[in-house]
């Protein structure tokens, strides 16, 4: 695979920064964008040198295959700034690895690690002033790739564009989340693309999620595509269930994304001596545990919120509430992980990477 150095990345700086127009005390998630973005084209069977340019619109032909056959993938990451103004990433090589897994599944070219890491670090250094420093805030990072090659024939494109955009974001707080266990729609299927971070996976979630919201819920709990008997994901997050003192999450598969926060939760749990089980979780088991009081916690795990506690769930016209518990696993995991991310604690796992 190709390699690249920082010196090979060309930089075109903005003439005038828009940072003074941003209210960093009231940042919504993923809706404000920094001054610059990284762009790198794949043409004639090879990746060209990356460029950093002012953030702005891009031009594509109407026949670009992204519009017709949906070849697109992305990652979600964050950069954190500690009280000494140092910048840190959290498990970035895991993001790169998963990016290429997604690329392979979508018949897209893999991206060399140096392009991903050096491009990202150079962009973050350039827009360092945009990284918020207040509690719970971070720089959300969106690496993505899509088919820019043209043609109406149903086949992989011959050209692609890799980009990274940065969005300074405030604390992601969803409040008490109430979810609906889905019994009709499926997020993914065996042999499908559920394990890839491709745009269509998320587009397909919007309709059933809106239906759930119309019934008073915030999100959907996805179940298996065959009989809707097994709990698989919570909205766009991996799901964890605590029954008694045991933490349970489903195994990764063709249908379930191999979440980086998910892996981190499992490793923190092991270090804390918490019993974990990676196995199939049935809806019947969860409903029975809710009825007999052994269901202590349910929460989603993902980049945006890190941990998103679930306050209750609906199933077949019945709502089940979860009472707040002392010594919450969700609270423990969120503190352990965010303390590492923000350089407030030692990192015994080797997850934190300084830029």
**What would the mean pLDDT of 260-267 be, rounded to a whole number?**
98
Residues 140 and 106 both lie in one domain: yes
**Is 355 inside a domain boundary?**
no
CA distance from start to end of the chain: 23
Domain count, the chain: 2
pLDDT computed for residue 2 by the predictor: 64
Domain residue limits at 61: 6-169
Residues 15 and 35 both lie in one domain: yes
Last residue of a domain, one of 124, 144, 169: 169
pLDDT in tens, 311-321: 999 999 999 99
Percent of the chain with pLDDT over 90: 93
CATH of the domain at 186: 3.20.10.10
In terms of Cα–Cα distance, which of 229, 211, 197 is closest to 75? 197
Residues 99 and 135 both lie in one domain: yes
Largest distance between two CA atoms of the chain = 63
**What would the mean pLDDT of 276-295 be, rounded to a whole number?**
98
Task: Quote the CA–CA distance of 300 and 309 in Å, as a whole number.
Answer: 6
pLDDT in tens, 41-67: 999 999 999 999 999 999 999 999 999
Last residue of a domain, one of 125, 147, 169: 169
Q: Give phi and psi for 36, each to the nearest 5.
A: -125, 165
Residues 164 and 182 both lie in one domain: no
Residues 241 and 307 both lie in one domain: yes
**Is 352 inside a domain boundary?**
no
Query: Across the chain, what does the average pLDDT equal?
Result: 95
**What would the mean pLDDT of 259-288 be, rounded to a whole number?**
98
Residues 21 and 116 both lie in one domain: yes
**Is 276 inside a domain boundary?**
yes
Q: Where are the alpha helices (DSSP H) in 130-242?
A: 199-214
Residues 185 and 107 both lie in one domain: no
Residues 12 and 120 both lie in one domain: yes
Contacts of 255 (CB under 8 A, 6+ apart): 187, 188, 189, 190, 192, 194, 195, 224, 225, 232
Residues 277 and 213 both lie in one domain: yes
- pLDDT above 90 for 208: yes
**Is 351 inside a domain boundary?**
no
- pLDDT above 70 for 286: yes
Residue 54 Cα to chain centre, angstroms: 25
Do residues 253 and 195 lie in contact, with contact meaning Cβ atoms separated by under 8 Å? yes
Task: Quote the CA–CA distance of 70 and 200 in Å, as a whole number.
Answer: 7
**What would the mean pLDDT of 202-223 be, rounded to a whole number?**
96
- pLDDT above 90 for 119: yes
Last residue of a domain, one of 143, 169, 195: 169
């Amino acid at each position: 695979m190709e390699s690249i150095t920082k010196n090979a990345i060309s930089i075109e700086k903005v003439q005038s920064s828009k940072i003074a127009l941003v209210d960093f005390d009231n940042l919504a998630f993923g809706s404000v964008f920094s001054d610059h973005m990284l762009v790198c084209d794949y043409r004639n069977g090879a990746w060209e040198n990356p460029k950093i340019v002012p953030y702005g619109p891009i031009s594509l032909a109407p026949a670009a295959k992204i519009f017709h056959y949906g070849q697109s993938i992305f990652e979600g990451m964050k950069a954190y700034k500690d009280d000494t103004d140092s910048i840190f990433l959290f498990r970035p090589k895991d993001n790169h690895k998963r990016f290429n897994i997604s690329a392979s599944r979508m018949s897209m070219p893999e991206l060399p690690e140096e392009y991903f890491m050096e491009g990202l670090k150079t962009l973050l250094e350039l827009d360092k002033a945009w990284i918020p420093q207040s509690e719970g805030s971070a720089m959300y990072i969106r690496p993505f790739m899509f088919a820019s090659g043209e043609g109406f024939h149903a086949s992989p494109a011959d050209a692609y564009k890799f980009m990274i955009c940065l969005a300074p974001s405030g604390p992601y707080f969803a409040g008490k989340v109430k979810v609906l266990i889905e019994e009709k729609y499926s997020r993914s299927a065996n042999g499908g693309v559920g394990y890839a971070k491709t745009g269509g996976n998320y587009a397909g979630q919007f309709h059933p999620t809106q239906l759930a919201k119309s019934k008073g819920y915030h999100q959907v709990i996805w179940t298996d595509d065959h009989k809707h008997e097994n709990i698989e994901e919570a909205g766009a997050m991996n799901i964890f269930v605590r029954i008694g003192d045991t933490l349970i999450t489903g195994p990764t598969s063709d249908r379930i994304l191999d979440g980086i926060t998910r892996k981190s939760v499992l490793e923190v749990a092991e270090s804390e001596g918490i019993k974990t089980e990676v196995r199939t979780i049935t809806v019947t088991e969860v409903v029975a545990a809710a009825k007999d009081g052994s269901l202590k916690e349910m929460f989603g795990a993902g980049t945006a919120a890190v941990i998103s506690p679930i306050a209750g769930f609906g199933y077949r016209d019945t709502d089940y509430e979860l009472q707040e518990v002392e010594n919450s696993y969700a609270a423990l995991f969120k503190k352990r992980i965010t303390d590492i991310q923000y350089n407030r604690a030692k990192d015994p796992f080797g997850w934190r990477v300084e830029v």
